[in-house]
Structure 1
Amino acid sequence: MSSGGYDAADLADQIREGDVNASIDAVLSDQESIGNLILAAERADLEQDTSPLVQLVSRSSQTDMLRKARQKGHVPSMNAATGLSEQRIDATGYTRLINACKPAAQQILLKGQKGTGKTVAALDIGRRLHAEFDEELSIATNIKGPDEQDDVTFVETMSEMLEWVRDTPGEKLVIGDEWSTTMNAHANPGGQVRQTVSRFINALRKGKGGSTRLLVIGHEHDTDIAAILRTQSDVVIQKDGKADEGMADLATVYDGWQDYLEDDHWFKLRGLQDVPESSVWGADTNYFAHFEIDLDNPHEQIRRGRLVDHWEELQDDTDNENGESSEVVCRGVKSDGDDCNALTSHESGFCKYHRDQWDGDTDPRLEDD
């Protein structure tokens, strides 16, 4: 479809939404006299829905205009009358959305009420991005189902995801579902989970031989979404409603989190398509997605934005073979010269903040009897 058709439809929708101070019925009239009559009726508070005369004049005028447009094949006029129709959106609206999600290291947040089809929408975006990259896009996700195809990998932990990013060349996409449930569990300001999530997200977007796009499925309420998943979002997609409300195929797109907060939308989508479970891109409805934060010492395990090869060796082991706690006081020294005194169970005897002081020996306090 020509850009003129798209621009005409977009302008028509802006008029309908009140973003442009004009009468859509008068604009679509093919005769100035009829347009002026419609404006006069509007000034007299004669609404189209309640005035048969205004309704007849408007309908007759738009019908004449569309008849001439059809005969001449004038696409902008036809699209202005229909606005963002499902047919037009399939050709241009999805293209606009995919182009917004395509840039390197792009972070996209897809949010909305429970039951609005967020997971299905995310998988459809992944499917379309995969096609946009001529099927040379590797995808990792904790959603069970689409991993049946070669280019999709199923992962459920931070370490698995970072190892996948580290070891997978080329352009990549990560689709994360139910992340906020885990990441907000203990993400108090300054807390370890908050720091771990921050390091994880920033490391995730760096890849070998190509960048990683991040598509996160969030909750309805803003505070239920981890801060870094919100504030770093380059694109925010708000699912507008549920299927039983007739709104499952609708979404509003914002150019970043700040525009979302200000309700300054970028564009709207209609005609979002479903991805059936039977599809190779469909989700397994019998599986509930979850995600584990399995890195104990992200400061050591993530270096220069990548998961280190020996990250398992830097994990804390909190129990001994008998299942009893085996924590000892950190033998590290703070920058001011004072003893650390934090508890650790790592074989080094150093906590995560002073692990760099370890010379490789095993703390005798943690050796087996």
Structure 2
Amino acid sequence: MSGGYDAADLSDKIREGDVEANIGAVLADEKPVGNIMLTAERAGLDETSPLVAMLDRTSQSDMLRRARQHGHVPSMNAATGLSESRTDATGYERLVREIKKPASQTLIKGPKGSGKTTKATDLIRELYRDLDGELAVFTNVKMRGMDDLDAVTFGEMVSELLEWNRDTSGEKVALLDEISTTLNAHANPGGDVRRTVSRFINALRKGDGGSTRLLLIGHEHDTDVAAIIREQSDLVIRADGKIDDGLIDCVTVFDGWKAYLQEDKWFAVRGLLDVPDGSPWKVPTNYFAHFELDLDAPEEQIQRGRLIEDWEQYQDGHETDGGTDTGRVSCCGVKANGDDCNSLTDHESGFCAYHREQWDGEPDERLQEAD
């Protein structure tokens, strides 16, 4: 009896995603058949499709026939505990459902080379499909077919993200890579990083006609992830390893940062595949993401949870005793992707705080003329 109970219990655990396996593939005695089942599942084939139904029915029938002939009760209990949802067996649909929740905030972390960015873009792709294309996407990740994805907006600054969030209606998701590097490398001139991040995350909850989900890609080491991001994360997804480890297709999901620190695993996902080369969502392997916290005075620029229309007037120490200082010029700096910055500044260099290292020491003639 105990053997039968153990098999049924294992079946339930596989069904719930607590064991990294596909129940149909497990029940298939032939490895090629099991691999085909995994591939069909990941490709999104419905379990009622002719191929999947035939493979599933054949493998179950063969296994149950042998189990009956030999009186092997554990095998029969395992088969009768079969999950009705193929994708739930791997946990992937479950993960997409969690990310889909309104205003959810998810952190993906793991070692370099574990495919964090690929996993993130694939989750966005699946979420886009799940919402029948009724999803607007903001990202600082350059995808190969971005020009063909009307739903995707590319940007590398907090102000661009918040303008997009303010002016875009409906359901939304923001995917930000290298967020740990950004938060640890910059201190906000008008305050601190924590206050800026807290305000811009709060602003994401104030969109029109729907909420904005936030998917952040962090570093492997816990100390490299800013405290505000750790505390704000509803989900932590850990990429479990690299190709050489045999874990490139596996992630572990935790219900928040505290659960992650305690190794209190919520569920596991296996069978993750790379984004196909022909997909517009594919990310070039040599791409490095960039993101800047370019708001100098978030308390004035983000009001009632939203970026104000004239937020630029509060950039780079504009305030004087006589009111707003209009003697400002566009920043001469060049962003990491080669685009001009164009943020307003009144510094003698003509560069904003984030690009002042590019200054050659000569005063900006535009400001001298304004005087």
TM-score by length of 1: 0.66
Give 2:261's aligned residue: 261
Distance 1:245 1:309, change over 3 A: same
Give 2:111's aligned residue: 113
1:171-320 counterparts in 2 under 5 A? 171-186=171-186, 192-316=192-316
Q: State the Cα distance separating 1:211 from its structure 2 match.
A: 0.2
Q: State the Cα distance separating 1:107 from its structure 2 match.
A: 0.3
Distance 1:9 1:237, change over 3 A: farther
Give 1:95's aligned residue: 93
Does 1:164 pair with 2:164? yes
Give 2:43's aligned residue: none
1:5-44 counterparts in 2 under 5 A? 9-11=11-13
Q: State the Cα distance separating 1:79 from its structure 2 match.
A: 8.5
Distance between the aligned counterparts of 2:252 and 2:80, measured in 1?
A: 20
Conserved? CA contact 1:69–1:78, under 8 Å: no
- 1:290-337 C-alpha deviation (Å, 9 max, x unpaired): 001111111111111111100111111xxxxxxxxxxxxxxxxxxxxx
Q: State the Cα distance separating 1:120 from its structure 2 match.
A: 0.3
Give the RMSD, CA atoms, in angstroms: 3.5
Work out the percentage of aligned pairs sharing the same amino acid: 55
Letter in 2 for 1:209: G
Distance 1:256 1:248, change over 3 A: same
Out of 118, 131, 134, the residue aligned to residue 133 of structure 1 is 131
Conserved? CA contact 1:170–1:209, under 8 Å: yes
- 1:234-260 C-alpha deviation (Å, 9 max, x unpaired): 111101000111110011011111111
Distance between the aligned counterparts of 2:65 and 2:210, measured in 1?
A: 48
Q: State the Cα distance separating 1:262 from its structure 2 match.
A: 1.1
Give 1:60's aligned residue: none
- 1:68-107 C-alpha deviation (Å, 9 max, x unpaired): 489xxx99724979x9xxx944765211111111110000
Distance 1:362 1:175, change over 3 A: closer
Distance between the aligned counterparts of 1:75 and 1:155, measured in 2?
A: 55
Distance 1:305 1:105, change over 3 A: same
Q: What is the count of residue pairs matched by the alignment? A: 276
Q: Greater RCO between the two (CA within 8 Å, min separation 6)?
A: 2
TM-score by length of 2: 0.66
| SS of aligned partner of 1:175 | strand
Letter in 2 for 1:349: T
| SS of aligned partner of 2:11 | helix
Give 2:153's aligned residue: 153
Q: Tell me, which stretches of 5 or more residues in structure 2 are unaligned?
A: 1-6, 20-26, 28-61, 70-74, 328-345, 347-366
Distance between the aligned counterparts of 1:257 and 1:110, measured in 2?
A: 11
Distance between the aligned counterparts of 2:324 and 2:230, measured in 1?
A: 40
Distance 1:251 1:307, change over 3 A: same
Q: State the Cα distance separating 1:184 from its structure 2 match.
A: 1.1
Distance between the aligned counterparts of 2:298 and 2:263, measured in 1?
A: 36
Greater Cα radius of gyration, structure 1 or 2: 1
| SS of aligned partner of 1:230 | helix
Q: Which moved more, 1:295-304 or 1:197-206?
A: 197-206
Letter in 2 for 1:140: F
Give 1:67's aligned residue: 66
Conserved? CA contact 2:313–2:324, under 8 Å: no
Does 1:349 pair with 2:320? yes
Letter in 1 for 2:320: G
Distance 1:67 1:154, change over 3 A: farther
Distance between the aligned counterparts of 1:75 and 1:179, measured in 2?
A: 49
Does 1:77 pair with 2:75? no
Conserved? CA contact 1:108–1:215, under 8 Å: yes
Conserved? CA contact 2:8–2:78, under 8 Å: no
Q: State the Cα distance separating 1:281 from its structure 2 match.
A: 0.9
Give 1:51's aligned residue: none
Distance between the aligned counterparts of 1:88 and 1:229, measured in 2?
A: 33
Conserved? CA contact 1:8–1:76, under 8 Å: no
| SS of aligned partner of 1:244 | coil
Conserved? CA contact 1:301–1:308, under 8 Å: yes
Letter in 1 for 2:107: L
Distance 1:177 1:7, change over 3 A: farther
Distance 1:239 1:304, change over 3 A: same
